[in-house]
Structure 1
């Protein structure tokens, strides 16, 4: 079966719905999203935490659409253009503000659908989260083992539940291992190509309303970041798990291409930038 892996990452997209932080007007939303200090913090999270995993996927056959508005201020729009220009898996989609967020998500993703695919593996990715270096490879492999269920239903979710919650508070880094159900990151919604939806069309906490789901609890597959700019600022329900003694640094490096010291520096830099009236530069 020909499977396309197609994701959507919203980078400060200017729309009125689709987020937990509400605003009464486009002007209020624009002022909030396009605040220069906030944008620089989001860029730091994106480039430090989210991007390394996508640049080093063991299976490079995927597309991640970066969705933002055509009026995203410089230098951030230019940075996104440059990044997507040199990484073929990343596709920049500039979408005008829309009242209906799911319509905007569909507009961003639709041009990148593979008409030859028999199944589309839709996934959402927040710009401050991370997936493991083998997320795409593992998803293809594990989906192959449950294809009969997908063929029978035409829809299927495949969730990797083992992750790390990274909190950046007051300049300090805290890492909490958690096993979660349908957290949203490292969660793939497989649809037939004739279904004009994206992963965001389905509330990830209520997927059982629309499709059967399979959860795989090993290996470690995601990082979810929690900080002052998070759309949702808590860990949510889940179960604890304990890495082997002294294994955290190795897990971060081997699974995500990240180093604990770099994450600790990020937490400290964001705090110092906030205390000083702005975040530091991003290279």
Structure 2
């Protein structure tokens, strides 16, 4: 069975709806998203936390569509162009502002759906989160274990729910270990390639309304950034788990390819 892994990452996309922070007009949204200081912070989160894992996935057979607007200020638009040009798995889609956010997401994803695939593993990824280096491999492997459930329903969510909440504060990165179901990061929505939806079409907090779901609680699979620029602004519900500091630092390196000192500097800059 051919499983396509296809994700969407919105980088300061100017459009109405689709976010928890509301704005009355496109102009108001643009002014908020394109504020130079905010863009600098978002780029720092993206390149320090989110990007390393995608550049070093153990299974390189995936596509991550980076969705932004054609008027994204420089130097960020050129930087994204260069990233996409140099990395086969990264695809840049410039989508003009649209009032209906889900239509915009579909416009970004549709050109990259492999019609020859048997199933598409859709995922969303925020530019201030991280997935483990084996997320793509794990999602594809674990899907084969529950493929029969997908066949009977035509849709299925696979939730790799053990993660770390990274809070920026006190000049250093503070980590809160959580098992958080359907958080949105490291969450894969398996659909047929002829279905028009993307991962963004399903509210990740209400997935059981639309499809069966399977939670995989080991191993550690995601880091979620929680800071002043976060759209949601809080950690959300979850089950705490424990990890010693020395082991945490090892896991950051082994699972995510990240260095604690870099994350401390990121948290300090974002505080």
TM-score over 0.5 (shorter chain): yes
Q: Distance in 2 between matches of 1:172 and 1:233?
A: 18
Q: Distance in 2 between matches of 1:199 and 1:158?
A: 12
Number of positions where the alignment pairs a residue of Structure 1 with one of Structure 2: 271
Q: In the superposition, relative to structure 1, how do residues 186 and 252 fare at CA in structure 2: closer, same or farther (>3 Å)? A: same
Deviations 1:222-272 (A, max 9, x none): 00000010001111100111124620100000000001111001111234x
Instruction: Show the counterpart of 2:176.
Output: 176
Instruction: Show the counterpart of 1:152.
Output: 152
Q: Distance in 1 between matches of 2:100 and 2:168?
A: 32
Give the secondary-structure state (helix, strand or coil) at the position aligned to 1:218. Answer: coil
Q: Which ranges of structure 1 fall in alignment gaps of 5 or more residues?
A: 272-283
Instruction: Show the counterpart of 1:236.
Output: 236
Q: Distance in 1 between matches of 2:199 and 2:245?
A: 36
Instruction: Show the counterpart of 2:266.
Output: 266
Matches within 5 A, 1:33-112: 33-112=33-112
Q: Distance in 1 between matches of 2:236 and 2:36?
A: 29
- CA drift of 1:213 comes to 0.3
Q: Distance in 2 between matches of 1:46 and 1:211?
A: 31
Deviations 1:52-81 (A, max 9, x none): 000000000000000000000100000000
Deviations 1:200-232 (A, max 9, x none): 000000000000000000000000000010001
Instruction: Show the counterpart of 1:129.
Output: 129
Q: Distance in 2 between matches of 1:200 and 1:220?
A: 23
Give the secondary-structure state (helix, strand or coil) at the position aligned to 1:246. Answer: helix
* Partners of 2:166 and 2:223 within 8 A in 1: yes
- CA drift of 1:169 comes to 2.2
Q: Distance in 2 between matches of 1:166 and 1:104?
A: 29
Give the secondary-structure state (helix, strand or coil) at the position aligned to 2:246. Answer: coil
- CA drift of 1:172 comes to 3.2
Instruction: Show the counterpart of 2:249.
Output: 249
Q: Distance in 2 between matches of 1:146 and 1:25?
A: 44
Q: Distance in 1 between matches of 2:197 and 2:36?
A: 32
Instruction: Show the counterpart of 2:10.
Output: 10
Matches within 5 A, 1:196-235: 196-235=196-235
Q: Distance in 2 between matches of 1:190 and 1:52?
A: 25
Q: Which ranges of structure 2 fall in alignment gaps of 5 or more residues?
A: none
* Partners of 2:162 and 2:222 within 8 A in 1: yes
Moved over 6 A (4+): none
Give the secondary-structure state (helix, strand or coil) at the position aligned to 1:166. Answer: strand
TM-score (norm 2): 0.99
